[in-house]
Amino acid sequence: MDLATVAKEIKPADLLQMYYYVRLTRTLEDRITALYRQGRIMGGVYTSNGMEAISVGYASALERDDVIAPYHRDMGAFLLRGITPGEVFAQYLGKKTGPTRGKDGNVHLGDLKRGIIGFVSHLADNLPVATGAALAFKLRDESRVVVTNTGDGGTSRGDFHEALNFASVRKLPVVFFCNNNQYAYSTPLRYQMAIRDVVERAKAYAMPGEIVDGNDVAAVYLAAKRAIARARAGEGPTFIEAKTMRMHGHSEHDAAKYVPRELLEEWKKKDPILKAEQILTQLGYADEAKFREVQERAKKEVEAGLAFAEQSPLPEGPETLEGVFAEERDL
């Protein structure tokens, strides 16, 4: 992303805010990983380490009434939508005060009031749901947009194709992101697809698509902004492939020995936090002191959240039986 474009298109305060959220996401997920390694978090932990710029980038381009249908490497988007670190820890620790009150774990967060459609573990299931939300906006003539995301792995599933196809046919106001981090668990791209870039799939659905540097939060933000504007203007869906690298294993228990070390070394140099700091420095929007201040602030926010979650109660056994069906509201 060239500096001139960034300077022209993004206000300093906004870029700083994106930087903050990239840092906050990293700090939060690092803490979660640490807790997991200490045996204090149970179950699976899936982070977006090294990929934070994608969720922060697109979520920063949303309006308040827009909706996201994320997947499990979108922590930055959750935070930008108003989920607090406290709620995230509560969710991971299975506490009553988490958004699912202990009913689901790790990053399976959802809250329609904050425009987040909770997802299931079956990757790409969220894509048809996203098209449905977009359809609702179109039917009601609302200028709201849905942004959805999945990994390179998710693009192999039938639901991915059914969703892109439907969104395209009906010109729905939805933006499809793909976090191409080059590995679906242990499966590298070459065993997943015969095409070279995932974006080639968009062409099959007559959908405009582009590739963006997934580690450059400014680039992701601008691409998302363009696509969201298109959708809002009634021009239909866009596919954005964000190229990045999965720096940790598929989940935190996975040592990922199948990933060549050189690949990780190469991408470490392109860490989204580093990249953001470089741009901010070069544009004169911030300096080392500021970066340290941001780091401290993020750390404080995360620790406060953890304290909240640790003090929160666990749900009681019989709560298992509650909330299977919604009650009649209007007849």
User: Which residues are part of the catalytic machinery?
Assistant: 246, 250, 258
Minimum Å gap between C-beta 86 and another protein is 17
Burial of 269 (C-beta count, 10 Å sphere; 0-12/13-18/19+): exposed
> Interface with another protein includes 318 (CB under 8 A)?
no
How is residue 36 written in tokens?
């997991």
Binding mask 90-109 for another protein (x = CB under 8 A): ---------xx--xx---xx
Minimum Å gap between C-beta 210 and another protein is 24
Nearer to another protein, 260 or 323 (CB): 323
Question: Which of 118, 188, 208, 315 touches another protein (CB under 8 A)?
Answer: 118
Minimum Å gap between C-beta 177 and another protein is 16
Residue 69 · residue 124 · CB < 8 Å: no
Question: Which of 3, 120, 204, 314 touches another protein (CB under 8 A)?
Answer: 120
Nearer to another protein, 22 or 133 (CB): 133
How is residue 177 written in tokens?
């992101």
> Interface with another protein includes 231 (CB under 8 A)?
no
CA dihedral 185, 190, 192, 194 (to 10 degrees): 170
> Interface with another protein includes 64 (CB under 8 A)?
no
> Interface with another protein includes 191 (CB under 8 A)?
no
Nearer to another protein, 1 or 117 (CB): 117
Q: Is 227 helix (H, G, I), strand (E, B) or coil?
A: helix
Nearer to another protein, 102 or 214 (CB): 102
DSSP 155: G
> Interface with another protein includes 69 (CB under 8 A)?
yes
> Interface with another protein includes 136 (CB under 8 A)?
yes
Nearer to another protein, 30 or 162 (CB): 162
Measured at the alpha carbon of residue 66, what is the angle toward residues 65 and 67, in degrees to the nearest 5? 120
Question: Residue 176: enclosing H or E segment and its boundaries?
Answer: strand 174-180
DSSP 320: G
Question: Residue 26: enclosing H or E segment and its boundaries?
Answer: helix 12-37
Nearer to another protein, 12 or 118 (CB): 118
Measured at the alpha carbon of residue 75, what is the angle toward residues 290 and 254, in degrees to the nearest 5? 110
Question: Which of 74, 125, 252, 271 touches another protein (CB under 8 A)?
Answer: 125
Strand partners, 148: 69, 176
Stretch binding another protein (CB under 8 A), from 118-126, 178-186, 194-202, 301-309: 118-126
Question: Which of 128, 214, 236, 249 touches another protein (CB under 8 A)?
Answer: 128
Residue 134 · residue 146 · CB < 8 Å: yes
Dist CA 228 CA 20 (whole Å): 22
Measured at the alpha carbon of residue 247, what is the angle toward residues 245 and 251, in degrees to the nearest 5? 115
Burial of 329 (C-beta count, 10 Å sphere; 0-12/13-18/19+): exposed
> Interface with another protein includes 29 (CB under 8 A)?
no
Minimum Å gap between C-beta 285 and another protein is 37
Binding site for another protein (CB under 8 A): 67, 69, 99-100, 103-104, 108-112, 117-118, 120-122, 125, 127-140, 146, 158-159, 162-163, 165-166, 169-170, 323-331
